[in-house]
Structure 1
Amino acid sequence: MTLLFAQAADTAQKLLDTAAQAGQQLAKIPDEELRFGDLLIKGGWVMIPIGILAVLGLVIFFERFFTIRKASKDESHLMIQVRASIMSGNLESAVAICKNSNSPLGRMLQKGLLRIGRPIKDIEGAIENVGKLEVSKLEKNIGILGIVAGIAPMFGFLGTIAGVIKIFYDISKTDNISMGVISGGLYVKMVTSAAGLFVGIVAYVCHHVLNMMVDKVILKLETDAIEFIDLLEEPSK
């Protein structure tokens, strides 16, 4: 019995000594900071097209954002001035006011004013055609954001797959299957997936934000166009 307790105590002491040595070795390992810039660089060549897509998406978003925002400004004063000119019979003044406004609504109303004297259907058709052109101008390049949202994650997955292929290729050449080799290379290549998904998500959100802004502008233009047509029909009622 005494011998059994002695062996158990000896085994416990060895376990304590092993744990102490492991703790000392871990304490000697230097702490490595995970820097964002280093990860981007280690992502490989795939980070270049992802970065280009990110810059392209941001440029398109801000350019379209300010353009659409300018087109969505309140034009109530324009409608008031045009109404006053039409009621006074001064069509030339109304045309000049619309031309000087340099806005989608102003161009639509100007086309309608130049068609006064023709049937209402012709005036409506002319305003509608100009409205379609103005909307197409506002939607210019917005579709590219949708393309960026779809392509960026694909590039990210492509980088990860290329990294995994390289890892297994290196293992086949060196016959080294240590977890350090596998996990070290894999976590770096996963950066491409994260970057691609991030760029794709941002582009997707920006795409829908711009579309919602355009929809609001379209609704406002349609409302003002109807008000203008009603104004032209008033004298004939």
Structure 2
Amino acid sequence: LVAIALVLGLAFCIERIIYLSLAEVDAKKLMAKLEAALEKGDVEGAKTICRNTRGPVASICYQGLMRIDEGLDVVERSVVSYGGVQAGYLEKGCSWITLFIAMAPSLGFLGTVIGMVMAFDDIQQAGDISPTVVAGGMKVALITTIFGLIVALILQVFYNYILSKIEGITSQMEDSSITLLDMIMKYNLKYKK
């Protein structure tokens, strides 16, 4: 059971790491391209840049640019709401990883209890308490506990790595949103002239 928790937990970790790696882009480079397009007043070109760039940062910028004609307030609300949706996608599946982190030691302790029951069962059948009689059950108890703790530690390391990647992407999304709104204000000023 502990091995199954490890395999399933690692599967969720690997899926998240791949998804988050694909979601990462060079946000500064993207924003520079967008600024160059918006400086010329080329909103369609800016939208195309966002469409051709993968990841949540580009998606958020695209949502904002789609509503550029409706005013800055609408753009800001759109960017904030869509940012929440994208953050949800980034965190999807993390609750399963925390479940397996919590389950692994519990399953290990369950193995401990089963091992102790086996040890006492062996004592009862043998009719005396000798180290050789108790050793098998005690060995099962200790091995499952150790394995449960090791699985939890491995999954915890992966989970913290995933959380740091999510925080990095979320911070890129927030920075890019603010930058986009600043650019749209500049663009609107130029547009009015």
**1:65 and 2:17 aligned:** yes
**2:142 maps to what in 1?**
190
Q: Does 107-116 or 58-67 show the bigger shift?
A: 58-67
2: CA distance between counterparts of 1:113 and 1:220? 17
Q: CA deviation at 1:195?
A: 0.6
**1:136-170 Cα shifts (integer Å, max 9, x gaps):** 11111112111111111011111111111121122
Write out per-residue CA displacement over residues 172-230 of structure 1, whole angstroms, 9 at most, x where no aligned residue.
Answer: 23303111111343123310111111101111222122111101111111011101100
Q: Which residue of 2 aligns with 1:86?
A: 38
Q: Choose which of 137, 144, 148 in structure 1 pairs with 2:89.
A: 137
The answer as to whether partners of 1:112 and 1:126 remain within 8 angstroms in 2 is: yes
What SS does the corresponding residue of 2:52 show, helix, strand or coil?
A: helix
SS in structure 2 opposite 1:117? helix
> Shift of residue 73 of structure 1?
2.6
For 1:143 and 1:176, locate their aligned partners in 2 and report how far apart those are by CA, in whole Å. 48
Which residue number in structure 1 is paired with residue 4 of structure 2? 52
Counterpart CA distance in 2 for 1:51 and 1:187 is: 17
Partner in structure 2 of residue 33 of structure 1:
none
Compare CA radii of gyration and give the structure with the larger one.
1
Question: What is the CA deviation profile of residues 83-140 of structure 1, one whole-angstrom value per residue up to 9, with x for unaligned ones?
Answer: 1221212211111111111221111111111111223121111011111111111111
Counterpart code for 1:125: R
Distance 2:4 2:124 in 1: 34
Partner of 2:98: 146
Amino acid at match of 2:189: S
Q: Could you tell me how far apart the structure 2 residues matched to 1:218 and 1:93 are? A: 25
4+ residue stretches of structure 1 with deviation over 3 A?
Answer: none
Contact conserved, 2:61 with 2:176, CA < 8 A, in 1? Answer: no
Please say if residues 50 and 58 of structure 2, whose CA atoms lie closer than 8 Å, have aligned partners that are also in contact.
yes
Contact 1:145 1:206 in 2 (8 A): no
- Aligned identity (percent) is 29
Gaps of at least 5 residues in structure 1 are 1-48
Question: TM-score scaled by structure 1?
Answer: 0.75
Q: Does 1:158 align with 2:93?
A: no
Task: Identify the residue that residue 236 of structure 1 maps to in structure 2.
Answer: 189
Query: Aligned with 1:188: secondary structure?
Result: helix
The answer for unaligned runs of 5 or more in structure 2 is none
Structure richer in helix, relative to its length: 2
Q: RCO higher in 1 or 2 (8 Å CA, sep ≥ 6)?
A: 2
